[in-house]
A and B are shown apart, each in its own frame.
Chain A
Amino acid sequence: MSERNNLLEVDNVTIRFGGVTALDGVDFSVREGEILGLIGPNGAGKTTCFNAVTGVVKPTSGAIRFRGKALVGQQRHKITRLGIARTFQNIRLFPEMTALENVQVGADARHKTSVVGALFRVWRVRVKPEELTEVDAKGGFGRLVQQVRRTGQQVFGLSRHTLEERAAREKATELLKLVGIEHRAGELARSLAYGEQRRLEIARALATEPGLLCLDEPAAGFNPAEKESLLELIRKIRDTGVTVLLIEHDMRLVMGVTDRIVVLEFGKKIAEGTPAEVRENPAVIAAYLGVPTDAA
């Protein structure tokens, strides 16, 4: 496993908010194709670490590299395009948009059409006849209009905008299927159940075609059965070639799914290794259970 390439390197990162040191010289790396767990007690700096990786906060010192490219100082949407996607601890969907549209926004990260392209539709691509607008109106004026549109498409081809829209819709539908909520595609995100919203967030993040997916407590508020199916989903995602960085409180879940674990406490890395190694590590046990008074 050690000969795998490092996808993400967090190199001696320190983050201070005023007098508070949230992260203190944290070092770790995520290898291509693994599931890395990031654990630690409340306030250990896990989410801050996520925020640093995705550009939400700027490290006071240290470097973060993704596929060898420095991330510190990059704009957040550019980091997404480099291939890092994330979900949020407290769900942050676009509530008044449908589930499908939420995922489409993610897919748009890979598209090129902007205002001019959408308005004038000047870039045209020739397509096969079966991809053109269907003429299905019964007759009369409607049929005429559709016929004219189809002829136009035959002559000029379809616009890049149209093709990208189709691709985004297809990809979004596929991802909704992957996370298991395709039957709610047309509902507003706000009207989805809690578990479905969590899954929708994962689908939206995946739509940006990430190399690294950062999940911030994806199982928070789940019952055991839901956690089980989430485990399966995370494995499925890894099997499609996406590396996963996972923050989670639930030890059983973390131990069950991760390849390696990094443990933070008070902003410092206290342990790193396979789940079995971490479980036996005295520093970790102390951090989670406290140090017995007679040992002190």
Chain B
Amino acid sequence: MMAVVDSARKADESRVRAVTGLRERWSNLPYGWRISVLFAFIIFLYALPGLEIPLITTPDTDFTSVLFLCAVYVLVAVGLNVVIGLAGLLDLGYIGFYAVGAYTVAILGSPNSPVVVQFPWVVCVPIAIAVTMVSGVILGWPTLRLRGDYLAIVTLGFGEIIRVFALNSDITNGNRGITGVPVPSEGSWPEWMDWFPGITAGRPIFSVSNVIGFYWLAITLVFICMLGVRRLERSRVGRSWLAIREDEDAAEVMGVPTFKYKLWAFAIGAALGGLSGALFFSKQTFINAQGFDLFTSILWVAAVVIGGAGNQLGVALGAILLAYLPERFREFADYRLLIFGVALIVMTIFRPQGLLPSRRRKVELEDRAKEGAVGE
């Protein structure tokens, strides 16, 4: 029995080496190569809906819709990663922010909401982000004094409160929900975009039946947000978050205003959650309290942990797996909770750091050392 575990450990270690080896090889590439490959990959992602790649495309569902869902989940994971992966705050009610963002856009933008005003999407979304940030701060202010499991319980309660509120309140139309959630733009595809497979000139850019517009918008937002979070990660803010995650008291004594930065982590995480909610439900055009259950919240946490908390690419991978696999293998979709549960257990035993762990730092540093040597 021990031998089995041992050999599994060894195999795991060699895998870790393989991954770090790959990463080192990547960072050893010339700057020009890296940036070119990165751009090529981004272009590939934009082109993906038109490529019809066999095996990857989903036979039972519209592939672009699946891609859109993946992008939304990646956005969710990037936000959740700030809270869980970087600042180390276990947030089990993240879906609450997702719901707040989505409902804000629906209430302010739909003609069928109880609120009379009707703003266009581009006005609603910044308001939605602001509202979710504020709700993050409101939730965080009293509760961020709690630690670990206690914080998890409170956030879990927050998620449920939002759901039950949405189910019973008048402003959300209760269980009937709100139809006519605004789309980002009423415009239609211009002539010169006609060449792209799936796009017909004159058809609306954002519609339920053709999601390419939504997908492109979503991945654009994903790139912007990932870049933003990356900037934070590699700054004083990111270091403070890591320090808080590692040892909150020591961080405080070393001059880190821990409460302030925990609040920031909550607010930024909330903003990204709200943005993804707003995005997803403007594609759905309909919102009610059904989609905001606790399980989704927990699955998101699982995706972040499985992907590799603290590493943006890792959590993105986790989110994509979470969104994509049930759609690709429809026959197993009913078992996804089971499969993710088992995956989580297996991961905690054999690879607790996640699929793509966050060990970038060491490599980064060697990079800098090289830069320094060149500079001297």
**Could you tell me which A residues sit within 8 Å of B by CB distance?**
54-56, 75-77, 80-81, 85-86, 88, 92-98, 100-101, 104-106, 108-111, 113-115, 117-119, 121, 134, 136-143, 145-146, 161, 164-165, 168-169, 185-188, 204-205, 208
Judge whether A186 and B35 touch: CB under 8 Å: no
> For the complex, what is the distance from the CA of A94 to the CA of B32, rounded to whole Å?
34
Closest 9 CB pairs of A and B: A142-B32, A109-B255, A118-B235, A94-B246, A80-B255, A92-B250, A186-B365, A137-B32, A108-B236
B254 at interface (Cβ–Cβ under 8 A)?
yes
Select which of A81, A113, A134, A169 is within 8 A of B255 by beta carbon: A81
| A101/B239 contact (C-beta < 8 A), A96-B246, A115-B268, A142-B33 known | yes
State whether A134 and B231 are in contact (beta carbons under 8 Å apart), knowing that A92-B247, A104-B239, A109-B254 are contacts in the complex.
Answer: no
How close is B264's CB to chain A, nearest CB, in angstroms?
Answer: 5
Q: Is the interface of B mostly helix, strand, loop or mixed?
A: helix
Q: Which residues of B contact A (CB under 8 A)?
A: 30-36, 39, 228, 231-232, 234-240, 242-243, 245-247, 249-258, 264, 268, 361-362, 365-366, 368-369, 374-375
Given contacts A80-B254, A105-B240, contact A161 B235 (CB under 8 A): yes
A-B interface pairs (CB < 8 A), number:
135
A114 (CB) vs chain B CBs: closest residue: B237
A17 to chain B, nearest CB (A): 17
Of B30, B264, B365, B375, which contacts A115 at CB under 8 A? B264
Chain A residue nearest in CB terms to B359 = A188
Query: By the criterion CB–CB under 8 Å, are B254 and A105 in contact?
Result: yes
CB pair A165–B30 under 8 Å, yes or no, is: no
For the complex, give the distance between the alpha carbons of A137 and B362 in Å. Answer: 22
Given contacts A113-B235, A142-B30, 5 further A-B contacts (CB under 8 A): A77-B258, A93-B247, A113-B237, A119-B231, A188-B362
User: For A145, what are the chain B residues with a Cβ–Cβ distance below 8 Å?
Assistant: 35
Query: Would you give 7 A-B contacts (Cβ < 8 Å), ordered by A?
Result: A75-B257, A86-B253, A93-B250, A98-B361, A113-B235, A113-B236, A146-B31
Knowing A141-B32, A141-B36, A141-B39 are in contact, say whether A118-B237 is a contact too (CB < 8 A).
yes
| Docked-complex contact B32 and A106, CB < 8 angstroms | no
The docked-state distance in angstroms from the alpha carbon of A75 to that of B256 is 11
Q: Are B365 and A98 touching (Cβ within 8 A)?
A: yes
Quick one: which of A92, A115, A143 contacts B232, CB cutoff 8 A? A115
* Complexed CA–CA distance, A185 and B361 (Å): 11
Residue of B nearest to A133 (CB): B371
Contacts of A92 in B (CB 8 A): 247, 249-250
Complex contacts, B32 vs chain A, CB 8 Å: 137-143
Shortest A260–chain B CB gap in Å is 25
Could you tell me the distance between the alpha carbons of A55 and B240 in the complex, rounded to whole angstroms?
Answer: 20
Cα distance A153–B346 in the bound complex, in angstroms: 48
Do B36 and A208 touch across chains, with their CB atoms under 8 A apart? no
Report the bound CA distance from A262 to B369 in whole Å: 45
* Chain A residues with CB under 8 A of B258: 77
Please indicate the chain B residues that have their CB under 8 angstroms from the CB of A137 in the complex: 30-32
- Cα–Cα distance between A43 and B239 once the two chains are bound (Å): 35
Given contact pairs A77-B258, A105-B254, A119-B232, A186 touches B247 in the complex (Cβ within 8 A): no
